[in-house]
């Protein structure tokens, strides 16, 4: 249903470096990249068809499963300046029944500029114990793996 070509609609995103993302060195402040990663993760879910309220806590709408980030990292290859138009390629990957990670490749006019990673763990909201990923996230992970030409986990 989701062909490799289609996955670009939710895995290939765009972002422009804004003035508030820079610091006095004149370039993007390093910690902003992780914020862009999370925004891209949210936009990807949204484009795939998962409304924010299905995945993220909103007032008056409790979730059975929380997906906190337990690890993140970033690598910076070249400075980014205000106005730079970025492409962000997302590579979501299921790690096991209860966790997944997303790799984010940032490029500027075709040149790799930076890379981010977030690792998420499924936690049952009531018991605070590890649990299985929600079905909605599994669908997004599987469709994304297909889209990347990767075999889905069986």
Nearest to 66 by CA among 10, 2, 110, 131: 131
Is residue 30 close enough to count as binding a second copy by CB under 8 A? yes
Contact 77, 112 (CB under 8 A): yes
Is residue 9 close enough to count as binding a second copy by CB under 8 A? no
Binding residue for a second copy (CB under 8 A) from 51, 97, 150, 153? Answer: 51
Whole-angstrom distance, CA of residue 52 vs CA of residue 64: 14
Is residue 112 close enough to count as binding a second copy by CB under 8 A? no
Q: What is the CA radius of gyration of the chain?
A: 16
Is residue 130 close enough to count as binding a second copy by CB under 8 A? no
Whole-angstrom distance, CA of residue 44 vs CA of residue 91: 11
Residue number, 36 or 141, with CB nearest to a second copy: 36
Positions touching a second copy (CB under 8 A) are: 16, 18-20, 22-27, 29-31, 34-35, 38-39, 42-43, 46, 51-53, 56-59, 66, 68-76, 79, 81-83, 118
């Amino acid at each position: 249903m989701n062909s490799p070509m289609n996955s670009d609609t939710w895995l290939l995103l765009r972002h422009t470096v804004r003035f508030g993302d820079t610091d006095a060195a004149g370039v993007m402040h390093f910690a902003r990249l992780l914020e862009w990663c999370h925004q891209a993760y949210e936009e990807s879910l949204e484009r795939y068809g998962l409304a924010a309220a299905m995945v993220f806590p909103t007032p008056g709408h409790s979730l059975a499963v929380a997906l906190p980030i337990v690890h993140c990292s970033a690598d910076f290859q070249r400075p980014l300046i205000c106005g730079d138009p970025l492409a962000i390629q997302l590579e979501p990957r299921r790690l096991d029944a209860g966790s997944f990670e997303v790799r984010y490749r940032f490029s500027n006019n075709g040149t790799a500029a930076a890379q981010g990673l977030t690792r998420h763990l499924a936690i049952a909201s009531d018991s605070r114990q590890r649990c299985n990923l929600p079905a909605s996230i599994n669908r997004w992970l599987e469709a994304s793996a297909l889209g990347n030409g990767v075999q889905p986990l069986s």
